[in-house]
A and B are shown apart, each in its own frame.
Chain A
Amino acid sequence: EPEVTQTPSHQVTQMGQEVILRCVPISNHLYFYWYRQILGQKVEFLVSFYNNEISEKSEIFDDQFSVERPDGSNFTLKIRSTKLEDSAMYFCASSAGRETGELFFGEGSRLTVL
């Protein structure tokens, strides 16, 4: 069964450092997403991406965040200058269509900011 893969599974970084989280969506999917979940809290939408541009973004997705699809397979989330409150599990997801409601999530990347 095709799956979304994410790397790294866990990253520890110092406050103020840049972090790049990587995702390989399912190959024939066209829509890509990043969500995050702070420990013990809800899964929160960050951004959606289609046709090489951001479709929607939440208030969380400020100027410190950016996304990119540098080649035909990877989808990355960059945090320019990490803060303590960025510590969370970051989930990448992809979907075939925009209105299906069926997103395929990866296993997540745990980010710990010290």
Chain B
Amino acid sequence: LAKTTQPISMDSYEGQEVNITCSHNNIATNDYITWYQQFPSQGPRFIIQGYKTKVTNEVASLFIPADRKSSTLSLPRVSLSDTAVYYCLVVGVGNMLTFGGGTRLMVKP
């Protein structure tokens, strides 16, 4: 099971771009990189998933270098409502998601 390492916390201000980097040095060939968001007292919510290069959706972008040993979640122009915990997960067959401690993002006015 690939272990992930990400910052414990980050602070940002409204309107800024936030980049959260995650390292996963022992990612396996069939693993995908997946990010979830969790607000207090709510269930995690899927944000984005990728295998390599760049993936973009209406919420975020995910950058994955060629060696796939790290990935960066990019949140454009954050708002106060983006304050949450962001989890980087490496997901293989079976969807048995293993959540780490995540990155607690605080967006300030």
Contact call A101/B91, Cβ cutoff below 8 A: yes
Mask: chain B, 45-85; 1 = CB below 8 Å from A; 0 = not: 11001000000000000000000000000000000000000
Q: In the bound complex, how far is the Cα of B34 from the Cα of A55, in angstroms?
A: 21
- Whether a CB of chain A sits under 8 angstroms from the CB of B9 is no
Contact call B43/A42, Cβ cutoff below 8 A: no
- Whether a CB of chain B sits under 8 angstroms from the CB of A98 is yes
Give A100's nearest chain B residue, CB to CB: B95
Majority SS at the chain A contact face: strand
Q: In the bound complex, how far is the Cα of B38 from the Cα of A101, in angstroms?
A: 16
- Whether a CB of chain B sits under 8 angstroms from the CB of A75 is no
Q: In the bound complex, how far is the Cα of B36 from the Cα of A43, in angstroms?
A: 11
Give A101's nearest chain B residue, CB to CB: B91
- Whether a CB of chain B sits under 8 angstroms from the CB of A48 is yes
- Whether a CB of chain B sits under 8 angstroms from the CB of A103 is yes
Give the contacting residue for B42; candidates A48, A98, A99, A108; CB below 8 A.
A108
Known: A101-B32, A101-B34, A101-B91. A93 touches B43 (CB 8 A): yes
Give the contacting residue for A31; candidates B43, B95, B101; CB below 8 A.
B95
Contact call B43/A45, Cβ cutoff below 8 A: no
Q: In the bound complex, how far is the Cα of B101 from the Cα of A104, in angstroms?
A: 20
Mask: chain A, 20-39; 1 = CB below 8 Å from B; 0 = not: 00000000000101010000
Contact call A43/B95, Cβ cutoff below 8 A: no
Give A contacts to B, CB under 8 Å.
Answer: 4, 31, 33, 35, 42-45, 48, 55-56, 89, 91, 93, 95, 98-108, 110
